[in-house]
Structure 1
């Protein structure tokens, strides 16, 4: 068991840094690695994807707290936007976790991989939507939040890959978009974790240490490390060549997603 604890800590170290740096929550790298780690431990193959998604959302909850504190200290969080988008986020996350609980593991893995490929291509090409307008009103922003929250929970991301492009399209400075996205990741992670716990509560055969679809030992290991490294990544947002790091990160995501899909479909 010790080796898995070390694995969770290593995963949290890596995911936390990039969560803080790019405002992405860290789920995009956590999910494929958790799937492989859970499968290697002999967790039920029919639920391994649900456990990875739920565990990732619970870990993002802690990462987002650490990341947003650093972004707030730099004055990068636009709290009025957070307030307008949060009601939709909460509704979308609860709906998204319910949908995810009904989808088979292999189908979920395929959805996740397609989404990661889309995100990776955007990162590699460094696609930036041209700014055309200001942020919409409360109702429209909340509706956008529902979409972001629902999709984020379905693929266990903090929402940054959707909310950052949306905000930059609305003329929000990229550093503010990343900082605000980190704050938006908090209600996504909270609603997502609650939803995965609730929808997995009555599922039989889950490994010891599970709370619904959330595997607590992994959450603890990942969270402890990511809380320490997320602020480092958040500070580096203003210092490092983010575009270059995005391309490297995207290449890693593609490899992990393909490997995860292979492990899911090659399992008996």
Structure 2
């Protein structure tokens, strides 16, 4: 029964990721929080389990996304090489930081983050960089390598605490310096892989150190949830992307922003209550 529930979550998360153009973590974390709560897991470990499991599933989905964007030549590999080390180190460290934060405080933090994403989706996206930047060319407007490494570290830490692949942070960072949207999204998809791997390993390690009493887990990663969500989201993301081309993207994003607002308010209510 648990596996069926996780398959459904994976189907919804993948479809939403393809439909709305956002990472599955913004859907997976809230759904896992609700399911783990209904399973009567320890309230102080539920949020950590949701974050760790979300990052583990993003390993699979990011590979699929990376391959698709690379075929279109939209991955800026030189920029990826500058950002990736900091992201991996930052996300591993972020998992340790998240492990030290109480479940209630994590609910508040994630709630605020979801409201920020909702705001950006509802009111943002009107101004996009124009022009064309070749994937092998590093725009002159981008910061130096050390600064990119540092930025990657900050994005990595935040990604671990929010349980996401970092797209919500990497894309705005790149477009801010003049990278066209297609290249920013493609490079962000590539960056999602080191973030997810390092974050999942971190949540596994730090979770095992805390010796949580939850069945079918490795640290803060739920095995059944990982298998169910990863297997389904890999396929349904492509379906969501096809449907997105049929419907109005602007209306879709506004509808999803409303959904994220409700979920964010729910987390704030649970955490602040």
TM-score scaled to structure 2, two decimals? 0.88
Give distance in 2, aligned partners of 1:96 and 1:6: 31
Further displaced range: 22-31 or 165-174: 22-31
1:169 corresponds in structure 2 to: 176
CA–CA separation in structure 2 for the residues paired with 1:58 and 1:70: 20
Contiguous gaps of at least 5 residues in structure 1: none
Aligned residues: 264
Q: Is the 8 A contact 2:165 2:195 kept in 1?
A: yes
Which of 160, 164, 167 is equivalent to 1:157? 164
SS in 2 for 1:47: helix
Q: State which of 203, 212, 219 in structure 1 corresponds to 2:226.
A: 219
Matched, 1:92 2:99: no
Q: Give SS of 2:33's match.
A: helix
Which residue number in structure 2 is paired with residue 112 of structure 1? 110
Q: Distance in 1 between matches of 2:208 and 2:190?
A: 28
1:259 aligned residue: 266
Corresponding position: 1:198 with 2:205:
yes
2:246 maps to 1:248: no
After superposition, the C-alpha distances for 1:39-87 in whole angstroms (9 at most, x for unaligned) are 1011111111111110111011111111111122222222221111101
Contact 1:92 1:145 in 2 (8 A): yes
Take 1:85 and 1:17, find their aligned partners in 2: how far apart are those partners? 28
Query: Aligned to 2:52, which of 50, 54, 66?
Result: 54
Residues 19 and 63, structure 1, Cα contact 8 Å, conserved in 2: no
1:254 is paired with a residue whose SS is: helix
Say what the alpha-carbon RMSD is for the aligned residues.
2.3
The secondary structure found in structure 1 opposite 2:209 is coil
Q: Does 1:180 align with 2:178?
A: no
Consecutive unaligned residues of structure 2, counting only runs of 5 or more, are 130-138
The structural deviation recorded for 1:7 is 2.4
Report the Cα distance in structure 1 between the residues aligned to 2:194 and 2:256, rounded to whole angstroms: 25
What SS class does the counterpart of residue 171 from structure 2 fall into? helix
Distance 2:63 2:245 in 1: 19
CA contact (8 A) 1:57 1:156 kept: yes
Structure 1 residue 226 displacement after superposition: 1.0
Deviations 1:238-268 (A, max 9, x none): 77644332222221122223334445666xx
Pair 1:15–1:120, CA change in 2 (3 A): same
- What is the TM-score with the length of structure 1 in the denominator? 0.90
Q: Is residue 95–residue 157 contact of structure 2 (8 Å, CA) maintained in 1?
A: yes
Decide whether aligned partners of structure 1 residues 70 and 127 sit closer, same or farther in structure 2, where only a CA change above 3 A counts. closer
